[in-house]
Structure 1
Amino acid sequence: MKLFTFLILTLLTGSAFAQGSDLPYVEGSAKLKGYLVKPKAAKGKVPGVVVLHAWMGLTNHEKESANKLASLGYIALAADVYGKNESPKSVQDAGKLSGYYKSNREVYRARVKAAIDQLVKAGADPERIAVIGYCFGGTGALEAARANFPVKGVVSFHGGLDKGPGETPGIKPKILVLHGADDPYVPKEQIDAFQNEMRAAKADWQMVYYADAVHAFTEPGAGTDKSKGAAYNEAAARRSWEHMKLFFAELFAK
């Protein structure tokens, strides 16, 4: 019975039609290793999605997101921001690594741009690219929009909304922010500043709040204890994925 259920779920999700593999690439002198998935049934160039990892580096969470995106018909690259030999061993390590990139936005942007370039090299339609990210990666997705990289849109899942110094130019990529209504790591002042930034940049942006959700609401490994400030929320995870799918349907419509 379990095998039958597995086969049915496989057919429904389309995961049987996707193949994933590690993808080595470089950005400057940095050696990176992402995870690339292509839909088997793809004909011609199809839209592509870069998936940016949270502060613990590239994990199964981002790889599974890439698998799910491929099952929807997209080429997906779960990118590596830190480098193949830079995996945090603790939250303290993760804080230092992610803090470096958040304090050096141009370096962070270069890593994101390298992933976009690799995705196009892998066969994605250069005119239909999106970037999504989780937590720290959500900040990176927004940086792709702020930099006006050649992407149609970006999606931030429970990401930081703060920006680096300097003015934001007119933002061309469309933006979707999926946010836990009770996220203690993104204070109201940061939300207000972000929304004012979007208005000043004349961006096409949306922000969706999920009730009873805190930071990391898409991550099952975060547990379910809201009092810690980061916890999985099944309803928010499911709803946010559906909101992303609707956003992509509009974004990639021919």
Structure 2
Amino acid sequence: MKRLLALGLLTCFAASAAHAAMVAKNIDYAVDGKKMQSVLVYDDAVKATRPGIVMTPDWLGMNPDQVALAKQIAGKDYVILVADVYGVDVRPKNADEAGAAAKNMYAHRSDLRARINAALTQLKAQTGKAPLDGKHWGAIGFCFGGATTLDLARSGADIGGVAVFHASLAGDPAFTDKIKAKILVMHGADDKFESPEQIAGFQQEMRDANADWQFVIYGGAVHCFAIPTADGQVPGCKYDAPVAKRAFAQMHSFFNEVFAP
């Protein structure tokens, strides 16, 4: 009996230790004088080095829910930098504030590109300090963060691939695409935030850029299908657990290909 109790306590301790091994630490820097604070996430219990991924949140920006989501995605597979593209003084508390923050960044697209590229630079600078392999880089994003991630690819960033969930698709005609990364877009068939014309325009943009791209459509899914805390944000935005599971499996498969030796 005592042996069984001891084994039970050891199991509980091991589970607790494994949970405690998930690191989340602030990375402070500035972009053109604007103070930013991104968060680096990884499992410290796993000593093997692994690919690095920049994750841009949805329009609510940096908050504990986004860091929790990054921890789930990172697991034992990736080191993730949750990118702050608003700045430390902008932390939206509701949909109205988030809409205003995102609208401002869309109106200053060159600033948005500078900030997401700076986040990638900060992630790469963690090589040797975090368990990064220093060779494999990617990016993911959700909604507004998907648009930001696509802009990272459009800017010609030196990364292997980007995967976006229910992203805003429109680019900025003021910039010329210089896409090096492979692109995976995951979209809900019933997403009303992107019109058929916008989808067709994005796909033509990818063709014109000679990009290596995929566009996966999930039947019945609407906007925000991959965000567990999305319900109630705005009409037409709803989490879909089965679709999210499929989409994250698709993302992992995509990065397995992108990061293959």
d(CA) in 2 for partners of 1:70, 1:228: 29
Structure 1 segment 1-254 matched on structure 2, within 5 A: 17-41=21-45, 43=47, 45-123=49-127, 124-166=132-174, 168-223=176-231, 228-254=235-261
Deviations 1:73-110 (A, max 9, x none): 21111111111121123322211210111122111011
Report the alpha carbon displacement of residue 43 of structure 1 after superposing the two structures with TM: 4.8
Shift of the 199–59 alpha-carbon distance from structure 1 to 2, 3 Å rule, reads same
* Structure 2 unpaired stretches of 5+: 1-7
Q: Output the TM-score relative to the length of structure 1.
A: 0.88
Contact 2:158 2:180 in 1 (8 A): no
Contact 1:215 1:229 in 2 (8 A): yes
SS in 2 for 1:221: coil
d(CA) in 2 for partners of 1:67, 1:89: 21
Q: Give the percent of matched residue pairs that are identical in Structure 1 and Structure 2.
A: 38
* Structure 1 unpaired stretches of 5+: none
Q: Output the TM-score relative to the length of structure 2.
A: 0.86
Q: Cα RMSD over matched residues?
A: 2.3
Report the alpha carbon displacement of residue 42 of structure 1 after superposing the two structures with TM: 5.0
SS in 1 for 2:71: helix
d(CA) in 2 for partners of 1:205, 1:141: 14
Structure with greater Cα Rg: 2
Q: Which amino acid aligns with 1:228?
A: P
Report the alpha carbon displacement of residue 67 of structure 1 after superposing the two structures with TM: 1.1
Q: How many positions carry a matched residue from both structures?
A: 245
SS in 2 for 1:58: coil
